Homo-oligomer: A and B are copies of this chain.
Amino acid sequence: MENELTTAQRAKVLIEALPYIQQYNNKIIVIKYGGSTMVNEGLQRAVMGDIVLLSLIGVKAVLVHGGGPEINEALNKMGKKTEFIGGLRVTDQETAQVVQMVLAGKISKNLVNLIGNIGGRAIGLSGIDGQMIEARKMSEELGFVGDIVNVNTQPILDVLEKGYIPVISTVGFDREGNCYNINADTAAARIAGTLKAESLINMTDIAGLLRDKNDPKSLISKLNVSDAPQLIRDGVISGGMIPKVNCCIEAIRRGVKKVFIIDGRIPHSILIEVLTDEGIGTMFV
């Protein structure tokens, strides 16, 4: 099918991207990447391709990744059992080290490798590098699950200025030298807010916010943050989406201009969201 694209159609696509390129030129876009979209190799390559393209056309792309499944896998392999309290993993020092190792050593560097392979230039930064994410214990019970005390964006800006795409693993540090597991959605929102990013894009496994979960056509394409509480009360936003939506709202509140939840399962959904008239997913305003 695609072979049938005429040159006129190709040119049209490119030229339609013009106003979006103008709008995002030299602006920061933070992309939160995680979940099942990270597992599919073809999708992963497509996402990294999108980010390289954005960076080449003058966008300052910052990638923040998660990695729950791979952490589980590593803990399992090592025979490390973990308990959960309120859905959060009780994280002793050894577990925190595994989290750090998987996020900063495996996932982050593999993404950097893939970006390099596609022709981009990236550096993997954890929240420990350049003392980027200072954390403290959320509660004594949970151990090294961190609340963010402070985000120091200097290492991110330094790496951007030198022309690299920062690939950020959300582990944190404290003044005693401990390391922490930090929720990636929360960190991405906080980083985007502190950077006063133009945009924060959350890639998920769902088709944006649906008014009716079973009807993909019921997508809420634009959501005023003041309407969110009602949607939560109505159960339209529920379960795991609640904290994600709260992160989006928090990002808006901290000064990010546009926040999106997009469907990461669609190849090149970032490009489509950023560079075309078609929005996919939900925009928070």
Q: Write out, one digit per residue, whether chain A residues 78-121 have a CB within 8 A of any chain B CB (1) or not (0).
A: 11000000000000000001001111111011101110111101
A212 part of interface (Cβ distance < 8 Å) = no
Specify which of A8, A12, A101, A276 lies most central, judged by the most chain B CB atoms within 10 Å of its CB.
Answer: A101
A17 part of interface (Cβ distance < 8 Å) = yes
Could you tell me the distance between the alpha carbons of A101 and B175 in the complex, rounded to whole angstroms? Answer: 24
Closest chain-B Cβ to A73's Cβ sits at a distance in Å of 10
Residues in B whose Cβ lies below 8 Å from that of A176: 117
Could you tell me the distance between the alpha carbons of A164 and B125 in the complex, rounded to whole angstroms? Answer: 13
Nearest B residue (CB) for A80: B77
A118-135, CB < 8 A from B: 118-119, 121-126, 128-131
- Which one of B8, B112, B123 lies within 8 Å of A2 (CB-CB)? B8
Could you tell me the distance between the alpha carbons of A110 and B164 in the complex, rounded to whole angstroms? Answer: 23
A100 touches B106 (CB 8 A): yes
Could you tell me the distance between the alpha carbons of A1 and B8 in the complex, rounded to whole angstroms? Answer: 11
Residues in B whose Cβ lies below 8 Å from that of A117: 173, 175-177
Could you tell me the distance between the alpha carbons of A124 and B15 in the complex, rounded to whole angstroms? Answer: 23
A219 part of interface (Cβ distance < 8 Å) = no
A15 touches B50 (CB 8 A): yes
The size bracket of the interface on A is 35 or more
Q: List 13 A-B contacts (CB under 8 A).
A: A10-B272, A15-B53, A18-B52, A21-B53, A100-B105, A101-B106, A102-B105, A112-B128, A112-B129, A113-B128, A113-B177, A114-B177, A158-B162
Closest chain-B Cβ to A262's Cβ sits at a distance in Å of 12
User: Interface with B: A28-36, A201-209, A232-240, A263-271, which one?
Assistant: A263-271
- Which one of B1, B11, B108, B123 lies within 8 Å of A272 (CB-CB)? B11
How many identical subunits does the complex contain? 6
A39 part of interface (Cβ distance < 8 Å) = no
Contact of A15 with B271 at beta-carbon distance under 8 Å, contacts A9-B5, A129-B123 already known: yes
B171 touches A109 (CB 8 A): yes
A53 touches B280 (CB 8 A): no
Contact of A18 with B129 at beta-carbon distance under 8 Å, contacts A11-B268, A106-B100 already known: no
A7 part of interface (Cβ distance < 8 Å) = yes
B57 touches A266 (CB 8 A): no
Closest chain-B Cβ to A87's Cβ sits at a distance in Å of 25
A192 part of interface (Cβ distance < 8 Å) = no
Residues in B whose Cβ lies below 8 Å from that of A118: 18
A278 part of interface (Cβ distance < 8 Å) = yes
Q: Write out, one digit per residue, whether chain A residues 233-254 have a CB within 8 A of any chain B CB (1) or not (0).
A: 0000000000000000000000
Residues in B whose Cβ lies below 8 Å from that of A9: 1-2, 5, 9, 13
B267 touches A8 (CB 8 A): yes
Could you tell me the distance between the alpha carbons of A24 and B162 in the complex, rounded to whole angstroms? Answer: 19
